[in-house]
A and B are shown apart, each in its own frame.
Chain A
Amino acid sequence: MIAALLAAAAAVSASFEPPAVDDPSPALAALGPQPAGATALTARAGRPFHGIRLDHGFWDGIDLGLGLDVWPEGFYRPTAQVRVRAFRAGPAQLTVRGTLGRVLGSIGGLVRTTDGELALQLGFAPFAPLGAFAEVSVLGATDFTREHTAGFTQVQGGLAFAPPGPLSLLASAGVLQGARGARAVGSGGMAFRF
């Protein structure tokens, strides 16, 4: 899967002109969506899972991505994602993100669910290379049976640091709330834009 993602990255980068990304706020651009024509490969490690994702900006304010989430317990989840920037005003932007994934792999006691997430992210970058964000999201997991269908909410905050160049750093922390309890979530990683 990772090889496929890298191959897709190569294909995407070959079929588009190198982006002239002149975003006045590179930190907000790092949070996404990617500017039209730009592609970013993001790798993150954290809990409850690690992930790698490839996002490409197809239109101004809209990007599409493919990813792979991997749990240390031995299962994984390919995902597809769309991010739409609702507005940007000065150093702030509001982004809507939708993700759909399918849990695969074999592990005792874990049902293979189709997972969805709908998130609203408010980004703020007081300084061009440094931004912060707050995100609320609702998540759902189901195998289309009543007993294996559940909903969750998640609140996260984080930082993006985008120095000059193709690399940017991302970090986030928050809480995932389910019907039976809440657990801390968080990750840190790096994005490479090309």
Chain B
Amino acid sequence: MIGSRRVPHPQTALLLCAALCAACGEGVPILMYHSVSDGGEPLTVTPDELDAHLDFLRSQGFETITLREVLDAHDGAGKLPRHPVVLTFDDGYQDAATQVLPRLLARGQKASFFIVSGFCARDEASRVTHGPHGYLTWAEVRALADAGMEIGSHTVSHRQLAGLHKAELRAEIEQSRAALQAYVDQRIDFFAYPFNDQRQWVRRAVEKAGYRGAVVGAHGNTDPFTLQRLTMHRGISAADLRSMLSESWETSYTEGG
């Protein structure tokens, strides 16, 4: 992952480009996780890897914050800590409750969970499973929220939004939000595009539905509706994470705090 993000050949021209591009900045780093288990899928990190990541963040002084805090600071309504980072977990897998939440609570950290509302079951007996994965029940989603985690929408059925008719698109975006707000005691302000598909009309629909912001994958930026995330996959060590989150002394110095 690190290698794939590297510029193929070092070019000194980059330095001049950088000097001339003082306005091009990175925002708060946002990490994108999915499932946390010992399953072998590329986007599934192991519990040990998550432990290493969370311990690294804590030891290096990174403070986990929510997307709401990021946009509050963006809007001038709050101040970011010196080393902020946002942890996000997509899809609402059962291990969010069994593996992720206990680890976060043990370290005093928080995260944002993007839930596919249509996959949330009423109770354990009706829990939805796809292949090796089970999904959260509504009680578990509520437990995440009650523990201080941020809940966001990841649509009703995790379909490719760009291929949907207008009414279906609206339903995916609005009904998931309504369902989540009905079950958890917090306002649902953030959205994650399934498959990171964020065409312009999809973005507009999300904005029009009243969300405050949305996250994408690697091809985002600091715009509130295309917030870029770093993909966390199996095999990323704490040392890799250090490299991903490192910054130059100037960046560190000028970020305030």
Contact = CB atoms under 8 A, between A and B. Distances in A.
B84 to A, nearest CB: 11
B128 to A, nearest CB: 36
Given A150-B24, A178-B253, A179-B25, 6 more contacts: A109-B83, A140-B18, A147-B244, A150-B26, A178-B22, A180-B254
Interface string B56-87: 00011110000000000000000000010000
Contacts, number: 129
B248 A151 contact: no
Nearest to A145: B6
7 contacts: A71-B249, A108-B59, A109-B62, A138-B20, A149-B17, A150-B24, A179-B251
Interface stretch (A112-120, A126-134, A161-169): A112-120
A47 B18 CA distance: 22
B125 interface: no
A180 B248 contact: no
B167 interface: no
Interface of B: 5-7, 10-11, 14-27, 59-62, 83, 242-256
Contact of A139 (B6, B10, B17, B250): B250
Contact of A148 (B59, B62, B247): B247
A108 B256 contact: no
Contacts of A182: 254
A109 B18 CA distance: 20
A146 B25 CA distance: 11
A183 B253 contact: yes
Contact of B253 (A138, A148, A149, A176): A176
Contacts of A118: 19
B245 A150 contact: no
B19 A116 contact: yes
B132 to A, nearest CB: 32
Nearest to A150: B251
Chain A interface bracket (under 10, 10 to 19, 20 to 34, 35 or more): 35 or more
Contact of B61 (A109, A138, A176): A109
A141 B14 CA distance: 9
Contacts of A16: none
A148 B246 CA distance: 7
Interface in A135-194: 138-142, 144-153, 176-183
A178 B254 contact: yes
Q: Which 7 A-B pairs have the closest CB atoms?
A: A179-B25, A178-B254, A111-B246, A140-B18, A141-B248, A140-B19, A144-B10
A150 B249 contact: no
Contact of A110 (B6, B14, B252): B252
A147 B248 contact: no
A48 interface: yes
Interface in A29-60: 48
Contacts of A75: 249
Contact of B15 (A142, A180, A183): A142
